[in-house]
């Protein structure tokens, strides 16, 4: 056999064995896990659910499998897991946005605009979110079933920014299927049940912010009729 061929073969095998040794060495054991985008869940909760407690070789990391496991959590809408060589893993989280609470027996369920149950609490003060009232609650798997009125209420709240949502004590669905907001400062917002909810959210935000900047107390804001907006101050 050609000595040159033997030399090349031996050298290649040595390189392969050396590479395998390096890959399986401590050099590529995951040491740092960076988590981005979490607010509701703690880093510890995400790491535990990702099964990244033990030292894992970064080459053995099942990125898509971990992402798929994470989106099984009701708090998480989307997740991406990437390697950062030699020893770091980056987990990017897209959490569901809590927009309200609904009563359930002796507790309150924290939900997003699609009805996903993000958390539960026994105290309203734990979350600065409006309590949605006036509708029966039916739980299916890990979400509440949204009827027409509940869907309108949750969609409307989702169109408001967080600072405005925090100013609302209650979003009530009346017997007529209309929506009323009760503000923390005592004011009331009458939304009715008709036209564009996003438009109503924009109008309410503009009116409320203007009156708040002027330090004016609100009696009620009536947005039931698109071409006839009424604002009464105290």
Residue 157 CB neighbours (<10 A)? 26
The C-alpha atoms of residue 167 and residue 204 are separated, in whole angstroms, by: 12
Tokens of 95: 């959490």
Tokens of 153: 């209420």
**Domains (range + CATH), the chain:** 26-95 (3.10.20.310), 100-233 (3.40.50.10960)
Residues 197 and 226: beta-carbon distance below 8 Å:
no
Output the pLDDT for position 42: 93
Burial 91-116, CB ≥16 within 10 A → b, else e? bebebbbbbbbbeeeeebbbbbbebb
Residues 145 and 160: beta-carbon distance below 8 Å:
no
Output the pLDDT for position 1: 53
The C-alpha atoms of residue 158 and residue 100 are separated, in whole angstroms, by: 9
Q: What is the 3-state secondary structure (H, E, C) of 127-173?
A: CCCCEEECCCCCEECCEECCCHHHHHHHHHHHCCCHHHHCCEEEEEE
Output the pLDDT for position 2: 60
Q: Identify any residues that bridge with 37 across adjacent strands, giving them in sequence order.
A: none
pLDDT along the chain (234 residues), means of 10: 55 51 58 91 90 73 90 93 85 96 92 94 92 92 90 94 95 91 93 83 93 90 87 86
Output the pLDDT for position 24: 55
The C-alpha atoms of residue 77 and residue 11 are separated, in whole angstroms, by: 50
Residues 102 and 144: beta-carbon distance below 8 Å:
yes
- Per the listing, tokens 């990244």 go with 52
Q: Identify any residues that bridge with 79 across adjacent strands, giving them in sequence order.
A: 93
Q: Identify any residues that bridge with 91 across adjacent strands, giving them in sequence order.
A: 35, 81
The C-alpha atoms of residue 188 and residue 157 are separated, in whole angstroms, by: 15
Tokens of 114: 């699609």
- Per the listing, tokens 């438009």 go with 199
């Amino acid at each position: 056999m050609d000595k040159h061929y033997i030399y090349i073969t031996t050298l290649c095998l040595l390189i392969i064995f050396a590479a395998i040794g390096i890959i399986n060495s401590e050099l590529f054991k995951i040491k740092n896990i960076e988590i981005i985008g979490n607010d509701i869940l703690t880093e510890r909760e995400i790491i535990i659910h990702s099964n990244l407690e033990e030292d894992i070789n970064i080459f053995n990391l099942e990125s898509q499998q971990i992402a798929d496991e994470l989106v099984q959590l009701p708090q998480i809408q989307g997740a991406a897991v990437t390697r950062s060589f030699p020893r770091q893993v980056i987990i990017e989280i897209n959490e569901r946005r809590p927009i309200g609470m609904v009563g359930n027996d002796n507790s309150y369920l924290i939900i997003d605009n699609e009805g996903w149950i993000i958390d539960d609490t026994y105290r309203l003060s734990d979350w600065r979110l409006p309590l949605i009232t006036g509708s029966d609650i039916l739980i299916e798997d890990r979400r509440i079933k949204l009827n027409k009125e509940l869907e309108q209420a949750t969609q409307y709240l989702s169109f408001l920014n967080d600072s405005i949502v925090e100013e609302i004590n209650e979003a009530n669905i009346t017997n007529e299927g209309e929506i009323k907001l009760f503000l923390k400062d005592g004011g009331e917002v009458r939304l009715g049940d008709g036209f564009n909810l996003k438009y109503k959210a924009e109008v309410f935000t503009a009116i409320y912010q203007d009156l708040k900047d002027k330090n004016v107390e609100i009696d009620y804001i009536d947005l039931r009729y698109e071409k006839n907006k009424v604002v009464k101050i105290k």
